[in-house]
Chains A and B, each alone.
Chain A
Amino acid sequence: MNSSLNLWVIPILPLAGAAINGFLGKRSSRQAVSTIALFFSGAVFAMALWVAMRFWFSSLTLPYHEYLAHWIRSGSFSADFAFYLDQLSLVMLLVVTGVGFLIHIYSVGYMWEDPSYYRFFSYLNLFMFFMLTLVLANNYLVMFIGWEGVGLASYLLIGFWFTKDSAASAGKKAFIVNRIGDFGFLIALFLLIKHFGSLNFDQVFQSIAPLAPETAGTGLLTAIGILLMVGACGKSAQIPLYIWLPDAMEGPTPVSALIHAATMVTAGVYMVSRSHVIFERAPTALTVVAIIGTLTAFFAATIGIAQTDIKKVLAYSTVSQLGYMFMACGAGAFSAGIFHLMTHAFFKGLLFLGAGSVIHAVGGEQDMRKMGGLKSFIPWTFLTMGIATLAIAGIPPLAGFWSKDEILWRAYQVSWVYWLIGLITAFITSFYMFRLLYMTFFGDYRGAQADAHGSHGHDAHGHGEPHESPMVMLVPLMILAVLSLLGGLVGIGNRFEHFLAPVFGSVEVVEGASHGTEMLLMGVSVAVALLGWWLAYLLYYSRPELPQRIADALGGFYQTVVHKYYVDEIYAALFVKPLIDGSTRILWQDVDRKIIDTAVNDAGDGARRVSDEARHMQSGNIRSYAAWIAAGSAVVIAFMVWMGSR
């Protein structure tokens, strides 16, 4: 029997931090603000660790339920504030609080100069609150609180520098695109309510578990699965709703690291994994997940090749890596997905923070073409980012290698097509990541000595030349670098899978025959990663003039890739513009004004016109009046005679 963990404290702590900083921060010093923010995010991390310890030392059995209070009650339907902890959420909990805490620390340094310092930490803590709610939810609706809430936090943080139009627009875009996904999510919830009468994970899954897997194409669970995937697409930036994530880089870099790489964007993966009971019984939905994941992984990676903005590269990389996770889920390897989620949180968080450090170093410049040769200026950053790059490229024995390989192997078991595309993506990933590394840290420094980008406030202490970040920023980098180095080791020998087995079911027994195949595939993928590295080395270090020539040779296609396949433009032309123009011209001007309101006013005018006509009966002439009387009486008499003689 578990004694109460008081899990509710976990989300409440950052909320308290957010509230304190939000209401009082404006009048407090930066030190006070950072103390509050760090205290609350640290405390929540400590508490997560404590929970994990208790589990580790077996004083806690999972899953663990905690009921807090009523929320919505309508008839027999109820959704209450209640929390749920199992191995899956424990992993998420640790990742979110851990990475979150590190990024809080980092932000103290990164945002120190910003005039809205308090606001940033308030938002950041708010984000933690919602993210933890999402992770710890006991039912879909509470999860939805977190789900929408992280969207809100993301909106606020992307638009943190709201005076920049692009930032404000990006925030709005993120929220709205997320809402489109939420639309699918909601419909899925309605289906669940309609057919299972509840949104509690336990109840829903218990009702579903006995059901047989549905045959392809039809069925309730398929619908629910696909709709949930729509929601996940929104949150986790998958095709076709990935478009907001690259724009989200308008936010401060720690935000990109925390929300748009490590935690929030993985919520979709978490949710799909959480709903694995549904997906496992809906093969079609699973296939959809796999296809979307695979396509996104490949598609986003190709865009990443041509990007020159350091954060944009990382953004597309994130999209691509999330695609991997969905590929895993689609292949039924939920634990592999979660594994990659975790390692990705480490190295992508690290990459973003490193990028932030770079940007910090070069005074706000984000264009890699204006960087170069930074390794001597910022060696620590270079070192940590290098580790992260190796990790994401899949060079053993770093974290990314283990998780990515697991996914590719599991995908191969489902279909070699997934594997192949995944492999190609791995090659591209390796290429653009090393491209990033070479362009940024090698060669000569191409940036301006004194920069004009003073708008962001984090670079106020004017730059003579690039300089290393303060320790408060470097320490999180180092910790994450260590995690990126070693984090993958927990997956050796399927230990991670075993850990999650109570959630996802036991690990399949791997046949001996395929063990060799697995080794082979592993070798191939390592080779591919090295190939990518080599190509990047070739193009961006030893023969830097080549990329331009290749670009020229490719011409239109290159342009298409640079412009991200014009997807934003296509969406704008297909949806946004018709919607706005149509609403303005057809709905508002035509239907509302011209038809409905005109009809109303015409009725009034018509009455007035009739009135004018009626008034002219009143000609002022006595004889006319007498005529009316005479004619009227004639009618009356005629009628009465008719009635009387009937």
Chain B
Amino acid sequence: MHLILFLAFGAVCVGGAVNLLAQRHPINSALSLIAVMAALAGEYLLLGAEFVAAVQVIVYAGAIMVLFIFVIMLLNAGEEEQTNGSRVAILLGVPGMLTGSVLVAWVVLRHSGTEAVPIGALPGPPKEIAQLLFHDFLLPFEVTSVLILIAIMGAVVLASKPERAEGKAD
């Protein structure tokens, strides 16, 4: 049962990821990314991480991807042009990436094998997560606020229209 669900969600994930690469219009890519994320949420559920799954859908698929689509719309991004700016990317990057992934896959398989080991009781009740988040990981949690502050400021600075303060440098 789990395996079937895993495979189903996994198929969506793989399909979505490949589709993201295959699609030439960014909107389509974004939509396939949303599919991937949704499917991943399913995988999280399978792994017993309900809370993560929920956040995945809300924050990731919801908020972040909406932002993406918003920007795509804002910039009125059209279809991708097939320029060849980088031969290196194809000649060096992709083979490199393939070798890397094959190696990692091999390591992963060697590390955990393919036996269907039950991976344990689901450890993800929100309460325990909260305990962790607000106690053990209190500092990172608080520091995140600085991160978000920076992000906000950055977004404001970079995306605001350049008419206000600086004017034209002459």
Q: List the interface of chain A (C-beta within 8 A of B).
A: 619, 621, 623-624, 626-628, 630-635, 637-638, 641, 644-645
B85 in contact with A623 (CB, 8 Å): yes
Jot down 12 A-B pairs with beta carbons below 8 A, ordered by A.
Answer: A619-B86, A621-B89, A624-B93, A626-B89, A627-B89, A628-B88, A630-B100, A633-B96, A634-B96, A634-B99, A638-B103, A641-B106
B96 in contact with A641 (CB, 8 Å): no
Asked if A641 meets B93 with Cβ closer than 8 Å, knowing A623-B86, A624-B88, the reply is no
Q: Which 9 A-B pairs have the closest CB atoms?
A: A627-B93, A631-B96, A634-B96, A634-B100, A623-B89, A624-B88, A624-B86, A623-B86, A627-B89
A27–chain B nearest beta-carbon distance, Å: 74
Which of A621, A623, A630: most chain B Cβ within 10 A?
A630
Chain B residue nearest to A638 in the complex (CB) = B103
A633–B100 Cα distance when bound, in Å, is 7
**Chain B interface, >50% SS class:** helix
- From B85, B87, B103, A637 is in contact (CB under 8 Å) with B103
A626–B110 Cα distance when bound, in Å, is 28
Q: List the interface of chain B (C-beta within 8 A of A).
A: 85-97, 99-100, 103-104, 106-107, 110
- From A630, A638, A645, B93 is in contact (CB under 8 Å) with A630
B30–chain A nearest beta-carbon distance, Å: 20
A634 in contact with B97 (CB, 8 Å): yes
Chain B residue nearest to A631 in the complex (CB) = B96
A220–B161 Cα distance when bound, in Å, is 100
A637–B88 Cα distance when bound, in Å, is 20
Contacts of A634 in B (CB 8 A): 95-97, 99-100, 103
Which of B90, B92, B93: most chain A Cβ within 10 A?
B93
B86 in contact with A631 (CB, 8 Å): no
Contacts of B85 in A (CB 8 A): 619, 621, 623-624
Chain B residue nearest to A626 in the complex (CB) = B93
Which of B87, B88, B92: most chain A Cβ within 10 A?
B88
- From B87, B93, B104, B110, A631 is in contact (CB under 8 Å) with B93
A635–B94 Cα distance when bound, in Å, is 13
Apart from A624-B86, A624-B87, A630-B100, what are 18 other A-B pairs with CB-CB below 8 Å?
Answer: A621-B85, A621-B88, A623-B88, A623-B89, A627-B90, A627-B92, A627-B94, A630-B93, A631-B92, A632-B96, A634-B97, A634-B100, A635-B96, A637-B99, A638-B99, A641-B103, A641-B106, A645-B110
Which of B89, B94, B95, B104: most chain A Cβ within 10 A?
B89
A123–chain B nearest beta-carbon distance, Å: 78
Contacts of A630 in B (CB 8 A): 92-94, 96-97, 100
Contacts of B93 in A (CB 8 A): 623-624, 626-628, 630-631
B100 in contact with A621 (CB, 8 Å): no
B101–chain A nearest beta-carbon distance, Å: 9
A644–B94 Cα distance when bound, in Å, is 24
Chain A residue nearest to B104 in the complex (CB) = A637
B107 in contact with A641 (CB, 8 Å): yes
B77–chain A nearest beta-carbon distance, Å: 17
Contacts of A632 in B (CB 8 A): 96
A623–B90 Cα distance when bound, in Å, is 9
B8–chain A nearest beta-carbon distance, Å: 30
A619–B86 Cα distance when bound, in Å, is 8
A130–chain B nearest beta-carbon distance, Å: 79
B6–chain A nearest beta-carbon distance, Å: 26
Chain A residue nearest to B98 in the complex (CB) = A634
A627 in contact with B103 (CB, 8 Å): no
A619 in contact with B99 (CB, 8 Å): no
Which of A626, A637, A645: most chain B Cβ within 10 A?
A637
Chain B residue nearest to A644 in the complex (CB) = B107
Contacts of B97 in A (CB 8 A): 630, 634
Contacts of B103 in A (CB 8 A): 634, 637-638, 641
Chain A residue nearest to B91 in the complex (CB) = A627
A644–B107 Cα distance when bound, in Å, is 10
Contacts of A631 in B (CB 8 A): 92-93, 95-96
A635–chain B nearest beta-carbon distance, Å: 8
Contacts of B99 in A (CB 8 A): 634, 637-638
A46–B87 Cα distance when bound, in Å, is 101
A637–chain B nearest beta-carbon distance, Å: 5
A621–B86 Cα distance when bound, in Å, is 6
B94–chain A nearest beta-carbon distance, Å: 8
- From B88, B106, B110, A627 is in contact (CB under 8 Å) with B88
A624–B96 Cα distance when bound, in Å, is 12
